[in-house]
Amino acid sequence: RHVADFQLCIASVIENGSSDCLAQDLHLQAQQLAERLKCDSVVSEISAGPGTVNFTINRELLAKTVLQQVWKDGSEYGVKSELFSAVPRQKAVIEFSSPNIAKKFHIGHLRSTIVGNFIANLKAALGHEVVRINYLGDWGMQFGLLGVGFQSFGNQEKLKSSPLQHLFEVYVQINKAAEDENTKKLAKDFFRKLEEHDEQTLSIWKQFRDLSIEEYIRIYKRLGVHFDEYSGESFYQEKAQEVLKMLEDKGLLQKTIKGTGVVDLSEKKDLSTVSTVMRSDGTSLYITRQFLIISFRDLAAAIDRMNKHSWDTMIYVTDKSQSNHFQHLFQILKLMGYDWAERCQHVSFGLIQGMKTRRGEVIFLEDVLNEVRSRMLQNMTSTKTTKALQDAVETAEKVGLAALIIQDFRGLLSSDYQFSWDRALQSRGDTGVFLQYTHARLRSLEQMHGNAELTDVNVACLLEPDAISVLQHLLRYDEVLYRSSQDLQPKHIVSYLLTLSHLAAVAHKTLPVKGSAPDVAQARLCLFHAARSVLANGMKLLGITPVTQM
């Protein structure tokens, strides 16, 4: 039995419908209404269900309208929907990824990177102006330690060839001696010189930073991610002092008995909720976001971005352990008189558990990318259907990345999840590999039979239930984009694309192009082209590059 295209719930349109009406009354009213409504050139059938009136659209009109729309709008299909006509185009600043230089680029940063990239892609696709900012942890006492460590254990050659790995090794070595009084003193001196802009010290720090960013850019390129701005805590030294002065001038900075500087965030102003902003020795706190400590730099960065970009919304993408940090940050900005703080948003995500490579614990993101690529390559070469690909390594990388992204985006971002290589890399089921496989299959269909032409399609050839299911699903794409644009959750798009792939796989089996009459073949080719086009659009929003063969 076919599924109706649209449904009207009777309870929603009659007075006191939901509360007072009995189910049988609603059913009766639905029947009466259905009998009074007339079919026309658009609606071909009207029937009553339990408390609902169901509408079926003229099948040929459905096919024609959907195919024409997908064809005409291309990569903007769904985005041009009237659902978005009332949404104002805005400027969004998105801060994401933000690793600490010389510390391992861990899996939390992977989530921040792919989630931030998705939000930026979605906003840009919907016509908003987007500024992608990477706010690096590139300042603070750890650089004193690192500087001293490099003087003892550093190697210029290694620093140039693999900066992240080498700085991490140096940091681990010097950390063993971090409790030693002499090391502490040397680290403090090094960092003091850095703060005083001593040229030699600054040039060592700058080399660490520049080489690290170069390597990050190379890794981001593998992820298909780019940034408009590499910012960092180091940019806001002087500006942090201005923020301190503003807090003092506005009488917002209070000293506790221990001499720590705090900002009172409690409703009754009784210091029951405070945010620590300054140590008792007067130094501005370096950013340790876990501990409800707001550094002046974070405040300075937010104010500076407003001055520089005059944005409409600013989104921070980090793990959920930092939720209180951002709540406090936004509250302090508001107390300072910045009403735009209400337009700041923290998008938080849970933790990935159990992600290990064959060699054991994951240290660098690059290890994960290499691992997923090699596992995928192995899977591809072991299956008999895999053709000898020209660029097998590159294809394995794109498919592997799709596997990582889909496993990550399937649930609510705020949930923690258990990572599993086997589950992520399955070629059947709800995985990124399945999406890529479907896309490649539909693409090879087009290559085999030549590209479809919409002009001479006979839509009467697309009335089979499996064709209608695909068309109905394509019709809903804009609603899914709208939902994701409202709550910034990628899961709506993921589940839509997985369903689309399953429906396309069924249609691919039951509606062969090969051996069918020319007009039937042409119509089916058009249908599969539309499905592939929408699949590719959705995958690109998620940060996945669709492959054309596999």
Q: Which of 109, 166, 325, 492 is catalytic?
A: 109
290, pLDDT greater than 50: no
Q: Which of 103, 449, 491, 540 is catalytic?
A: 103
- Which one-letter DSSP state was computed for residue 12? G
- SS3 track for 454-488: CCCCCHHHCCCHHHHHHHHHHHCHHHHHHHHHHHC
By three-state DSSP, how is residue 131 classified? strand
Looking at residues 513-522, what average pLDDT do you find? Answer: 94
445, pLDDT greater than 90: yes
Residue pair 241/391 in contact (Cβ under 8 Å)? The answer is no
Report the C-alpha gap between 54 and 46 in whole angstroms.
6
372, pLDDT greater than 80: yes
By three-state DSSP, how is residue 522 classified? helix
Looking at residues 534-542, what average pLDDT do you find? Answer: 98
* Res. 285 pLDDT band, cuts 50 70 90: very low
Report the C-alpha gap between 130 and 116 in whole angstroms.
11
How large a percentage of the chain has pLDDT more than 70?
90
Beta bridge partners of 7: 54
* Res. 31 pLDDT band, cuts 50 70 90: very high
DSSP 35-86: HH----SSEEEEEEETTEEEEEE-HHHHHHHHHHHHHHHGGGTTTTSGGGTT
- Segment holding 495, helix H or strand E: helix 491-510
Cα dist. 355→54, 137, 364, 365, 424 in Å? 47, 24, 12, 11, 11
* Res. 360 pLDDT band, cuts 50 70 90: low
267, pLDDT greater than 80: no
Give residue 288's pLDDT.
Answer: 36
Tally of CB atoms within 10 A around 135: 25
Give residue 295's pLDDT.
Answer: 76
CA torsion through residues 364, 370, 373, 375, sign: negative
Q: Give the model confidence (pLDDT) of 41-64 as tens digits.
A: 999 999 999 899 999 999 999 999
Give residue 367's pLDDT.
Answer: 84
Q: Which of 286-295, 373-382, 444-453 has the lowest mean pLDDT?
A: 286-295
Report the C-alpha gap between 332 and 330 in whole angstroms.
6
What are the structural domains of the chain?
6-57 (no CATH), 62-81+355-384+391-410+418-542 (1.10.730.10), 92-235+311-353 (3.40.50.620)
Annotated active-site residue 2? The verdict is no
Range with the largest mean pLDDT of 1-15, 83-97, 291-305? 83-97
Give residue 133's pLDDT.
Answer: 98
This prediction has a pTM of: 0.91
Give residue 356's pLDDT.
Answer: 73
Q: Give the model confidence (pLDDT) of 140-158 as tens digits.
A: 888 999 999 999 999 999 9
Structure tokens at 170: 């140096």
Q: Which of 106, 188, 334, 502 is catalytic?
A: 106
Report the C-alpha gap between 41 and 51 in whole angstroms.
25
Annotated active-site residue 325? The verdict is no
By three-state DSSP, how is residue 248 classified? helix
Give residue 289's pLDDT.
Answer: 34
C-alpha angle 58/59/62, rounded to 5°?
90
Give residue 292's pLDDT.
Answer: 38
Report the C-alpha gap between 101 and 112 in whole angstroms.
16
Give residue 309's pLDDT.
Answer: 97
